Amino acid sequence: MQFGIFAVSDITQDPTTGYTPSEAERIDASVKIAVKAEEVGLDVFAMGEHHNAPFFSSSPVTLLAHIAALTHRIILSTSTTLITTNDPVRIAEEYAMAQHLAKGRLDITLGRGNTVPVYPWFGKDIRQGLPLALENYNLLHRLWSEDVVDWEGTFRTPLQGFTSTPRPLDDVAPFVWHGSIRTPEIAEQAAYYGNGFFANNLFAPNGHFKPLVDFYRKRFAHYGHGTEEQAIVGLGGQAFIAHRSQDAFDAYRPYFNSAPVYDHSISLEQWAEASPLSVGSPQQIIDKTLEFRDVFGDYQRQLWLMDHAGLPLGMVLDQLELLGSEVVPVLRKEMAARRSPGAAEAPTHESLVRAKYGDAEPRQPRPNANRGDNVTGTSPYQDSDPERPANYPVLL
């Protein structure tokens, strides 16, 4: 079981002080939060992708590559990467590069996002959002699993003899989670490929996403990847922790009251009771998270949102101390004690390499050397001269 945090990169005024951090301050804070997450023993740090104010994370892969250089153990992920408006060729190459830099400590969560204007900003039509998501991932999967790709689809130009570079580390692509809260087609796609399914368990009644998770499990088994309980599920969540429950509610209340993502027709206490929002003492966070397991069954990854709505950096770092020292160690023991023997382990780069190659050395990739020369992009000149190597690039 993996435990970690995810961020959405909002730049929000602190309602208790009136101070709004700059982009530079929030970017720097996110790096500090990721480093702290590793220090306190968390397993995952994930960053979302946004291209509109008040968010800064237009390039999560850049941020994660930087964090990789400052950390040693923590898995770096996204929450999410936009599969609809990013070119799958760029996703394949950028995240394979980051995977190498992180020495395998990188995976990716793909989603459609929740911002309507992002589609025309990148030349896409939101009415084609679902077909884009399906086609783009189909291509991304091939770019990572095949050294040479011939492909033709609806939404981008064809590829002929194309090799995405660099090739995935150890011939194993970054593990893919498909994130969705409402779309069975995305759950179906995750099941078809044997990938993970991530339900961002926020802003809805407890158990609201269970039917979608159950559907994914059934289809995962249908496609022959294992039993339903071996399906790979991740859940989002949100937590605010203090040593005493009332202190947690008192400290978080002004942030809750000012955040537009909540329905303010009910109180913070009612929100915490009815939704996955976890506010309170360490034991209350533990109990609430164990309820997720009771509802959804065994799952592999739990991520919490802990730095949004204007919470200052110092407060977030204090939260991580409590999460890492008093919450997660207990959850590890409790989840392990309740875990079915047939449940899948959380995926890591090492486990994926073992599953594919066992004790053997990973296969070395065989890129297409005929992609073109390194100057003009045209096919390399070849003639009958026996002294000229077959793929010798020349200026024409």
pLDDT at 103 over 80: yes
DSSP 3-state helix, strand, coil percentages of the chain (rounded to 5)?
Answer: 40, 15, 45
Residues ≥6 apart with Cβ < 8 Å to 333: none
First-to-last alpha carbon distance for the chain, in angstroms, is: 57
Condensed to tens digits (0 to 9), the pLDDT of residues 280-327 reads: 999 999 999 999 999 999 999 999 999 999 999 999 999 999 999 999
Say how far apart CA 242 and CA 318 lie, in whole Å. 9
| Domain 2-357 grouped into CATH 3.40.50.1970 | no
- Residue 224 CB-density burial (10 A; 0-12 exposed, 13-18 middle, 19+ buried): exposed
- Give me the residue spans of the domains in the chain: 2-357, 371-396
Q: Is 354's pLDDT higher than 60?
A: yes
**Phi, psi (degrees; rounded to nearest 5) at 82:** -80, 105
pTM across the whole model = 0.91
Q: CB-based burial of residue 330 (10 Å sphere; 0-12 exposed, 13-18 middle, 19+ buried)? A: middle
Residue 202, pLDDT > 90, answer no
3-class DSSP assignment, residue 105: coil
pLDDT digits (tens, 9 = 90+) for 75-100: 999 999 999 999 999 999 999 999 99
Q: At what angle do helices 313-322 and 23-39 cross, to 10 degrees?
A: 20
Q: Hey, what are 115's tokens?
A: 């911002």
10 Å CB burial of residue 359 (0-12, 13-18, 19+) is exposed
Of 109, 129, 111, residue with least CA distance to 119: 129
